[in-house]
Amino acid sequence: MKLHIKDIVTNRRALQNYAVLDKVEAGIALVGTEVKSIRENLINPQAAYAKVEGGEVFLYDLFIQPYERAGSKQHEAKRRRKLLLHRGEINKLLGKVSRRGYSLVPLRFYWRNARIKVELAIGRGQASYDKREVLKKRATQREAALEVASVYRR
């Protein structure tokens, strides 16, 4: 069976603010109007985060704009959404996130065989000096790559 994966949106801010330690794929329990809004790319994951509560994982502050052409039934834009994971995965996440300073943040949302999935990251918040170090490292790598490319052009 061939996998059809298509990105919907990526949370670039999460990659800047968190050092990613591990990643997990999860499904999301959505209502019909939310799926239609996501099809039109009316989703903003900037402030979204996940929590393990009562043996289940929930996604908070994910903004999915209300669907314009919906009838009387409309979804809340920032409601709590359940993430679909196996019990073992939830226990593993709970063990890792229970340590101080670790969070569950969504990195990207994508279609996988006609189902919406979220890639969750277990991350540790980065201080501003850590971010500067990452930027310096990228700049030196970019300069080195340009230098190597210029040598091969000659």
pLDDT tens-place string over residues 33-80: 888 888 888 888 888 888 888 889 899 988 888 888 777 777 777 888
| Model pLDDT, residue 84 | 92
- What percentage of the chain exceeds 90 in pLDDT? 10
| Model pLDDT, residue 154 | 65
Two tokens, residue 33: 């109007």
Kindly report whether the global pTM for this prediction surpasses the value 0.75: no
Contact 122, 97 (CB under 8 A): yes
Q: Which value, to the nearest 10 degrees, does the dihedral of the CA atoms of residues 36, 40, 41, 45 take?
A: -30
Q: Is 60 a member of any domain? A: yes
Two tokens, residue 154: 């000659």
Q: Is 100 a member of any domain? A: yes
CATH number at residue 115: 2.40.280.10
Q: Is 137 a member of any domain? A: no
